[in-house]
Structure formats: C-alpha cells, structure tokens
Chains A and B, each alone.
Chain A
C-alpha cells in the first residue's frame, strides 16, 4: 500500500457502506454457485460458505464488523419485510392448514416449547451463563423475531442472531438425514419440523426437497415466529423458577 492512489481508494472504501454490501452479495453469489456445483449438498450450505468467506475477509483485511455492517445492514434489514412476507405462503397453504390445523397446532406448541426449553436447560446444565441461556432461548425463531425476544428476556440480541444462524445451518445440514433415520417420510411432517426447528435457513433447504415440504416449512416458520413471541418469555420465567 505504498502507492498513495491505492491508499486513497482504501480510505474511501472503508468509509462507505458500498464495500460491505457488495462483498456480502458477491460472497453469497459465489457460495450459491458452489452449492449448485455440489448438486445442493446440505454440507455446502450457502450461508456457511459465505459467512466463512466474509469472516476470513474481515480478519485478513482488518475491516471491523461495524464498518462491514454499515453495508451489510441493507441486507439484514430485509429480514423484517421477509417476515411480513411469510403471510403469503401461510395464506396459500391455508386450505391444507385448515384440514391439519389440530396436528399442526399440537406439533407447533410442542416444538416451540421443546426448542426453547431444551436449549435453556442444556446450556444451564453445562454451566452456560444466564446471558447465553437467554440468548439461546428463542434460537429456533427467525432472526428479527428471535432478536426482539432475546432483548426482552435479557439476552444479547447480536449473539442471538449468530445462534439463530447456526441453528438454521444445523437444521438444514442434518434435517433430511435425521428424518430418514427416524423413518418420517411425509413431507408435511418434515416441513413442519424443519420450519419449527430451523426457521428460514431450514425452509430454504426444505424447498430443495419438495415444494410441499418448503411450503409447510415456511408455514411452520411463520406460525412458530408468532408462537415463540408469545410462549418463550413466559416459559423462560417458568424455567428460571424451577432452579
């Protein structure tokens, strides 16, 4: 960087959100291409590859996360309208939902309860701090919802965002294998489980398996966002009282 021209360019780039936004889209584009090359192998999940690429880039270049996020926030912001957009698959699947409303409701309430309860209890038993336990509690809900809940119950919203992403990745990578092992073949049941446990990242994976699984996963993600917002703060209080 002894060339003054280059360092001027660097000064400009580190002061504008353009770089953060562009590298996010480029990294995701490359990761998605790689994912298609592997014929959609869940191990090549585009979120994993692009996050790994971007973290490496930040570590190597010394750009701070705050500077990166000045651009990344434009992508991150879209999680809000994307949550509202879930009303559409919910509406489109409504006739199927009406026939299955009781099984869906039971699975949803159990699933949301198990997701929050098991993560808080496990973290607690293994000696995790209270902040980590609270940040883990809403981990199966989609990011903006989980971050809002985490803030309300005393977790760290930004840590929750990371845990939400890792949860989604675990679900997307292991999901189809797990369903095979336990002998669940029905795409409706698989979709509901994927959406409840692994929100949007799981839903993206579910759409790869079948559009029916994807639709039910999207539906479960939408409903569990709602159920998590209502159930988890109350459940966490209850678990705290147990010990």
Chain B
C-alpha cells in the first residue's frame, strides 16, 4: 500500500505540474515543476513521507531501464544519424567530455575556495 500511495502522490504532483505550466503558459516541463513543488512540500512539512521515499527509491534505482524505449527510437532516426553522423557523433562525444571535465574542475575549485573561507564545519559531519 505504501508503494501505491507513493506512486499516486508522485503522479498527483506531476499532474499538478502539467496543469500549472499550461495555465501559466511557461516553458518549464510539467514534471520539473512537479519536482519543485514536491520538494517545497517536504521542506515545509520537514520530512519526506515514507510512501514517497519508497516509490522514489523504487523508480530511481532502475532509472536506466526507463531510458530504454527512447533509446530504441534510434531505429527511426537511422537516416538522419547516417546523414549527419559527423556533427552528431563529435558534438555528443566532445560536448559530454568537455562538460564533465569542466564541471568537475569548477566544482572542485569552487568548493575549495568556499571551504577555505571559514566553512570548515561542512567536513566535520563526514
């Protein structure tokens, strides 16, 4: 029952998100707004309901599976991918590598700066 309640709550937030973005005409995807609203709800209530925790762990532990049907969709884009294989392959590969390297270095460097300037208590609870 817990799992069912959790899934229901996630769907309710997603539905609310979808309705609100359409009412307001903003370009944020509905599930993202749903996520923000759920986060805000948990912040206000000061805890994550066990049902939502269970459903979220269940969904997120096999997150890769959820990408499989979209990945199989490659089959419908073989033509375009073959026509533009060079820009697509290089843009994907290089951009992903550049993003990962840059983000990791920026995060490492900025967290060093900000821990030096007096936030050492952040390390104590490790």
Give chain A's interface residues, CB within 8 Å of chain B: 20, 24-25, 27-28, 45-47, 50-51, 54-55, 58-59, 65, 68-69, 72-73, 75-76, 78-92, 94, 96, 99-100, 102-104, 106-107, 110-111, 114-115, 118-120, 122-124, 126-129, 132, 136, 139-140, 143-145, 148-149, 152, 158-159, 161-168, 170-171, 174-175, 178-179, 182, 184, 186, 188-190, 192-194, 196-198, 200-201, 203-204, 218, 222, 225-226, 229-230, 233
Residues of A within 8 A of B65 (CB): 24-25, 28, 46, 50, 75
Residues of A within 8 A of B110 (CB): 102-103, 106-107
Which residue of A55, A144, A189, A204 is within 8 Å of B63 (Cβ)?
A: A204
Q: Within 8 Å of chain A (Cβ to Cβ): is B4? A: no
Cα–Cα, bound, A163→B93 (Å): 11
In chain B, positions 9-57 with a C-beta closer than 8 Å to chain A are 10-11, 13-14, 17, 27-32, 34-36, 38-39, 42-43, 48, 52-53, 55-57
Is chain B's interface secondary structure helix, strand, loop, or mixed overall? helix
Residues of B within 8 A of A119 (CB): 91-92, 95
- Provided the pairs A85-B56, A88-B48, A104-B107 are in contact, do residues A24 and B69 lie with their beta carbons within 8 angstroms? yes
Instruction: Quote the shortest CB–CB distance from A176 to chain B (angstroms).
Output: 10
Contact size range, B: 35 or more
Task: Name A82's closest neighbour in chain B (CB-CB).
Answer: B59
Which residue of A88, A123, A182, A198 is within 8 Å of B96 (Cβ)?
A: A198
Q: Within 8 Å of chain A (Cβ to Cβ): is B72? A: yes
- Provided the pairs A91-B48, A186-B108, A200-B66 are in contact, do residues A84 and B71 lie with their beta carbons within 8 angstroms? no
Instruction: Quote the shortest CB–CB distance from A40 to chain B (angstroms).
Output: 12
Instruction: Quote the shortest CB–CB distance from A151 to chain B (angstroms).
Output: 9
B31 touches A83 (CB 8 A): yes
Which residue of B31, B70, B87, B102 is within 8 Å of A161 (Cβ)?
A: B70
Residues of A within 8 A of B97 (CB): 170, 174, 178
Residues of B within 8 A of A143 (CB): 66-67, 70
A78 touches B66 (CB 8 A): yes
Cα–Cα, bound, A37→B27 (Å): 43
Which residue of A73, A75, A89 is within 8 Å of B60 (Cβ)?
A: A89
Instruction: Quote the shortest CB–CB distance from A52 to chain B (angstroms).
Output: 9
